[in-house]
């Protein structure tokens, strides 16, 4: 679970930086999208990502079932807020489900119209637009009203992702053995910094196009 989670964090770091390019140059963004089209290395990457998400998801379900079984009927014997226990740490499954739910919508927004359109020869979207990521992102986030609703949805998604990673990165490093008394507090800070570094580029892109969209409305 920890290794698949940290591998997904690496993908997100790349994906966030890649999306930030769009704010500076539509041309270079589309060159990156074209490089990540339906060629053999991009397809291997996509399959690898799908595998990681599946492993992470299945382990999350398995561990939750195991935890509940271990706690038995005493699950609700003590209620109320426990000292030092963060809200995220008790709601990781719910946060993960929110992240995956929005991810399905996100894949429909972009992956369907880009890589899948190329693979299926244009069955899911026009093939001539398959590498035009700039066009799709700008249309999604700036179309009057519809675009601003999408920006709000993406910001909710990113808030859930930040909360999930804020606990998840700490938990992964802890599980992998970085859990002595000196480093416990430090890896908490490292987790928060990593979560922020991953999520911030996406937030910048969404807020930038939210501004552009509102500017078009006024
Ligand atoms: C500002 C926010 C975002 C934008 C503009 C964006 C844009 C895109 C675009 C254009 C694609 C298709 C092109 C490509 O494959 O590279 C894509 C694919 C993808 N995105 Fe995003 N993305 C955003 C946020 C996210 C977030 C937060 C996640 C995960 C939590 C995510 C996960 C993915 C995945 C898994 C794919 C498919 C990658 C593949 O086919 O190998 N994206 N995104």
Instruction: Specify whether the CB–CB gap between 98 and 161 falls below 8 A.
Output: no
Amino acid 23: pLDDT: 97
Report the CATH number at residue 73.
1.20.1300
Give the torsion sign (CA, 59, 202, 19, 209): positive
- Alpha-carbon distances of 178 from 8, 88, 142, 190, 191, rounded to whole Å: 19, 20, 44, 12, 12
**pLDDT per residue as tens digits for the range 170-189:** 999 999 988 788 888 899 99
Q: What's the rounded Cα separation, in Å, for the pair 205 and 29?
A: 12
| Atom 8 of ligand 1, nearest CA residue | 110
The residue whose two tokens read 């969209």 is: 213
Q: What is the reported pTM?
A: 0.94
Ligand 1 contact, 114 CB (< 6 A)? yes
The domain of 34 spans: 2-217
Domain total in the chain: 1
Distance from the alpha carbon of residue 106 to the mean position of ligand 1, in angstroms: 7
Residues 6+ apart with CB under 8 A from 20: 201, 204, 205
Amino acid 76: pLDDT: 57
User: What's the full length of the chain, in residues?
Assistant: 218
Q: Which residues of the chain have pLDDT under 70?
A: 72-84
Q: Which atom of ligand 1 is nearest to the CA of 46?
A: 41
């Amino acid at each position: 679970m920890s290794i698949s989670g940290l591998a997904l964090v690496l993908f997100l770091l790349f994906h966030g930086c890649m999306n930030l390019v769009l704010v500076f140059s539509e041309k270079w963004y589309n060159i990156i999208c074209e490089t990540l089209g339906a060629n053999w290395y991009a397809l291997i990457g996509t399959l690898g990502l799908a595998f990681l998400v599946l492993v992470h998801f299945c382990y999350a379900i398995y561990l939750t079932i195991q935890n509940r079984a271990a706690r038995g009927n005493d699950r609700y014997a003590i209620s109320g807020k426990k000292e030092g226990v963060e809200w995220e740490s008790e709601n990781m499954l719910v946060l993960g489900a929110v992240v995956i739910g929005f991810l399905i919508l996100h894949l429909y927004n972009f992956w369907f119209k880009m890589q899948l359109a190329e693979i299926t020869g244009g069955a899911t979207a026009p093939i001539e637009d398959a590498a035009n990521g700039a066009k799709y992102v700008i249309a999604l986030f700036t179309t009057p009203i519809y675009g601003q609703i999408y920006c709000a949805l993406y910001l909710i998604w990113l808030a859930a992702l930040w909360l999930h990673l804020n606990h998840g990165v700490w938990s992964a490093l802890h599980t992998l053995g970085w859990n002595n008394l000196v480093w416990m507090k430090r890896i908490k800070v490292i987790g928060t910094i990593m979560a922020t570094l991953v999520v911030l580029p996406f937030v910048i892109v969404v807020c930038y196009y939210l501004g552009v969209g509102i500017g078009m409305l006024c």
